[in-house]
Amino acid sequence: MIQDAGAKTTPTHIVREEPLLFERSRPGRRAYVLPALDVPETPLEDLIDERWQRQDNLAGLPELSEVDVVRHFTRLSSWNYGVDAGLYPLGSCTMKYNPKINELVARLEGFTEHHPYTPEDLSQGSLEVLKQLEELLCEITGMAAGTLQPAAGAHGELTGMMIIRAWHEARGDPRRKVLVPDSAHGTNPASAALCGYEVVTVKSNERGLTDLDALRRATDEHVAALMLTNPNTLGLFEENILEIAAIIHEVGGLVYMDGANMNALLGITRPGDMGVDLLHLNIHKTFSTPHGGGGPGAGPLMVTEKLEPFLPLPRIVRGDDGSCHLDFNRPQSIGRVRAFYGHVGVLIRGLAYILSNGAEGLRAIAEAAVLNANYLARRLRDVYEITYDGPCLHEVVFSSRRQEKYGVKNVDIAKRLIDYGFHPPTMSFPLIVHGALMVEPTESVDREELDAFVTAMKEIDREAREHPEVLKTAPHLTHIGRLDEVAAARKPVLRWRPTPSEGRASEGK
Ligand SMILES: Cc1ncc(COP(=O)(O)O)c(C=O)c1O
């Protein structure tokens, strides 16, 4: 099916499986056999009242041998694609490799066995780790303080919006508008709206940057804040950030930066030096822990000194002797936004990542991430349109416009990439690029893999011109072919259910 031997991998180990083979249960099969009793048997009724005794497999659970179970799950795991398998260029998700040392550190018993209700004086280890992380994030971002409570990036945004509201209210000047450029991440307007603000969209200019004239026109004394994704979702740095911040500050508004794309800026520049008043970070993008898999994340919110009193409570504060305490006495705080300390496991991974890379390592990460994205842009720009072309930062957004002449859409290109052994890029986002294919290679990919990706993308372009039907029906080499995405969204089958008529289980119906 795949005609190019130059593509990274041809996953020949994957063959379509008959659906029936999914079901391997056979009545009476067991995972273990216990030896005959060598002590007197206690009758079951003496142990459990008859009413509560389970009858023979009423729940319809699958009956399998141990080897059946191991092979079933091992087989399923090989049907997935993950960051440990290869390039995962899902733009805006920073799907970088996560060093295993972070896992090891996060799983230390002292952390995993630490109950969140443990009194403060017996929690010094965990509190110290969290405080250290906050202090390092302050240093990295140039901000004065932060909270680690938010459970994800969007949660950090909402926390930021609540602080903005509390700050304006405390000054007796509640405001109603939040400005959001059209190149912002989609969660930005959603967070502002959720907090009760009227969202005003600001247009980008022809280079994909915030249009300063449009910004000036939209800015007045009703503006509570500007929410600026920087670098924006086109992978472009808002080079007029100082002027942008001045325009907003002039009317008494605050500048919120969506710092989830901080991977591109680490060690190079700091939001605190650009006039930013508050920002969130995505630990699960920039500081290890894979994003996009649906697992837990962490979206710390960092603020300047004037906003510190509004941070969620409790704050972890250091005493004169260096020990850490939980401070609940904060009358201006917006209150708690998450139970206990937030997602501590993710935060520990983040700290391990920062400490193991050090300041120079963090800068090298940003440089490599930017270099890799620009390498792909340079090698593919003759084949795929780049609507907003120019030096990008951590990601590059291609368009499928040229391939559409042959009836091929961005989704077909993305699905065909799976056959070539790559995870698809983010599709149809940002909305300001027609047929967007948003590619973020990250720093943890080598030159050979970037070249293999380029080869695959060029082959797919050739196929679009010569055999477009191959793309329109891709993927061809996975267990499950092209999905009916509407049905998958409207009638999702999310779990296995037993089929009572057969007395055993079958794949979800
Ligand atoms: C730029 C940007 N902002 C905000 C978010 C939202 O983060 P989360 O998915 O953790 O809520 C993301 C997620 O990828 C992002 O890329």
- Closest atom of ligand 1 to 261 CA is 1
Q: 91 vs 80, 292, 455, CA distance in Å?
A: 19, 10, 19
Tens digit of each residue's pLDDT (9 = 90 or more) over 400-422: 999 999 999 999 999 999 999 99
Q: What is the pLDDT of residue 9?
A: 43
Taking the centre of ligand 1 as the mean of its atom positions, its distance from the CA of residue 118, in whole angstroms, is 32
What pLDDT sits at residue 5?
Answer: 37
Count Cβ neighbours within 10 Å for each residue of 227-263 and write b for 16 or more, e otherwise.
bbbbbbbbbbbbebbeebbebbeeeebbbbbbbbbbb
Pairwise pLDDT comparison (497 vs 407), residue with the higher score: 407
Give pLDDT tens digits for 188-240: 999 999 999 999 999 999 999 999 999 999 999 999 999 999 999 999 999 99
Mutate to test the pocket of ligand 1, among 92, 286, 289, 346 (most ligand atoms within 8 A of CB): 92
DSSP secondary structure string for all residues of 256-295: EEE-TTGGGTTTT--GGGTT--EEE--HHHHTSS-SSSS-
Does residue 140 have a pLDDT over 50? yes
Task: Write down the CATH number for the domain with range 101-355.
Answer: 3.40.640.10
Which of 187, 229, 233, 258 has the most ligand 1 atoms within 8 A of CB, as the residue to mutate?
Answer: 187
**pLDDT for the residue numbered 60:** 77
Q: For residues 361 and 358, what is the distance between their CA atoms, to the nearest angstrom?
A: 5
Identify any residues that bridge with 180 across adjacent strands, giving them in sequence order: 201
Ligand 1 site-directed mutation target among 180, 229, 282, 283, most atoms within 8 Å of CB: 282
Mean pLDDT of 244-248: 98
Nearest CA-CA partner of 455 in 465, 466, 467, 447:
447
Least confident of 19-28, 30-39, 363-372, 434-443: 19-28
357 close to 349: Cβ distance less than 8 angstroms: no
In the chain, domain spans:
101-355
Please state whether the predicted TM-score (pTM) of the whole model is above 0.85.
yes
User: What is the pairing mode between strands 324-327 and 396-399?
Assistant: unpaired
Which residue did the predictor score with more confidence, 60 or 211?
A: 211
* Share above pLDDT 70 across residues of the chain, in percent, rounded to a whole number: 92
Quote the DSSP letter at residue 429: -
Average pLDDT over residues 81-85: 90
Is residue 103 within a helix (H) or strand (E), and if so which, with residue range? Answer: helix 100-106
Q: 275: closest CA among 139, 143, 168?
A: 143
Report which protein residue has its CA nearest ligand 1's atom 6. 153
Across the range 477-490, mean pLDDT stands at 88
With a pLDDT cut of 90, the percent of the chain lying above it is: 80
| Range with the poorest average pLDDT among 34-38, 263-267, 313-317 | 34-38
- For residue 504, the model assigns a pLDDT of 44
Pocket of ligand 1 (CB under 6 A): 92-93, 152-154, 185, 187, 229, 258, 260-261, 282, 291, 297, 299
Q: What mean pLDDT is predicted for residues 371-383?
A: 98
Residue 153 CA to ligand 1 center (angstroms) comes to 5
- Can you give the pLDDT at residue 25? 86
More confident residue, 156 or 50: 156
pLDDT band at 15 (very low <50, low <70, confident <90, very high): very low
Beta bridge partners, 255, equal 226
The mean pLDDT value of the chain amounts to: 92
> Can you give the pLDDT at residue 293?
61
| Residue of the CA atom closest to atom 16 of ligand 1 | 92
Please tell me the least confidently modeled range out of 47-61, 113-127, 277-291, 440-454. 47-61
Residue nearest to atom 7 of ligand 1 (CA): 153
CB 437 within 8 A of CB 398: yes
Region of residue 435 (phi > 0: left; psi between -120 and 50: alpha; otherwise: beta): left
- pLDDT at position 11 is 42
Query: Model confidence at 386, in pLDDT bands (50, 70, 90)?
Result: very high
- Cβ neighbours for 272, distance < 8 A, ≥ 6 positions apart: 141, 142, 143, 144, 304
**Closest residue (by CA) to atom 14 of ligand 1?**
93
Residue 294's pLDDT band (cuts 50, 70, 90): low
Taking alpha carbons only, the member of 414, 398, 85, 96 closest to residue 262 is 96
